[in-house]
């Protein structure tokens, strides 16, 4: 049974784009004892500490997560372009790019309170800028955003429109494109790829 819980924790840490807190690991595993949970995490950490393992268990202020060990980072980082952005950060950035200027309060309604952390990190990276607007902030992408992704804002918006959920469109007050429009975007991407 302990092996199953250990495997479950490893699977959760592998799948999660963000660090997982001890409380959330407790909910996932059903282990209420924090000391027992920390014991299993210590076993996982010890298991991955040996030289033949390419990843290690790390603890950040947000929780536990796996990360690639430094000796391997340069060789594998090209496999995941923009890996310095979590899925949550990418979703936030996508929403801002689609409907800028966009109020922070609207993104919070869509993504929840974690978005404050995403916005701070995106601002620190220079990908978005914020401007105080009453009790909230207004968000916009920067020129660095276009440089980072190697495309114009207009091209990025076209690509995003093909993958954003209808619910997100409705919450943002954007007309939902029909399937034909989404298909045009896919054809645009295909022709762009063939041109390159």
Q: In the beta sheet, which residues pair with residue 60?
A: 63
State the pTM of this model.
Answer: 0.48
Which residue matches tokens 């701070």? Answer: 120
Strand blocks (E) in 18-172: 55-60, 63-68, 102-103, 128-133, 136-141
CATH number for the domain formed by residue range(s) 2-78: 1.10.10.10
**41 contact partners, CB below 8 Å, separation of at least 6:** 9, 25, 57, 64
Strand blocks (E) in the chain: 55-60, 63-68, 102-103, 128-133, 136-141
Which residue matches tokens 């469109």? Answer: 169
Question: What does the pLDDT average to over 120-137?
Answer: 93
Answer CATH for 87-195 from 2.40.160.60, 3.30.420.40, 1.10.10.10, 3.40.50.1100:
1.10.10.10
Using the 8-state DSSP alphabet, how is residue 145 labeled? Answer: H
Give the model's pLDDT for residue 182: 41
pLDDT digits (tens, 9 = 90+) for 40-90: 999 999 999 888 888 999 988 888 998 888 888 777 766 666 667 888 888
Q: Where are the domains of the chain?
A: 2-78, 87-195
Question: 2-78 and 87-195 share one CATH topology?
Answer: yes
């Amino acid at each position: 049974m302990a092996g199953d819980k250990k495997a479950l924790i490893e699977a959760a840490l592998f799948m999660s784009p963000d660090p997982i807190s001890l409380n959330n690991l407790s909910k996932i595993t059903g282990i209420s004892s924090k000391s027992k949970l920390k014991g299993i995490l210590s076993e996982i950490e010890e298991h991955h500490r040996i030289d033949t393992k390419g990843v290690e268990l790390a603890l950040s202020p947000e929780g536990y997560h796996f990360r690639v060990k430094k000796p391997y980072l340069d060789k594998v980082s090209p496999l995941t372009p923009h890996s310095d952005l979590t899925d949550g950060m990418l979703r936030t950035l996508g929403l801002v790019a689609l409907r800028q200027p966009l109020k922070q309060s609207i993104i919070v309604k869509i993504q929840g309170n974690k978005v404050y952390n995403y916005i701070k990190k995106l601002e620190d990276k220079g990908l978005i800028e914020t401007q105080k607007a009453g009790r909230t902030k207004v968000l916009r992408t920067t020129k660095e955003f276009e440089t980072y992704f190697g495309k114009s804002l207009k091209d990025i918006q076209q690509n995003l429109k093909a993958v954003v959920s209808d619910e997100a469109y409705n919450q943002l007050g954007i007309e939902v494109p029909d399937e034909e429009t989404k298909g045009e975007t896919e054809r645009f991407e295909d022709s762009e790829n063939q041109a390159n």
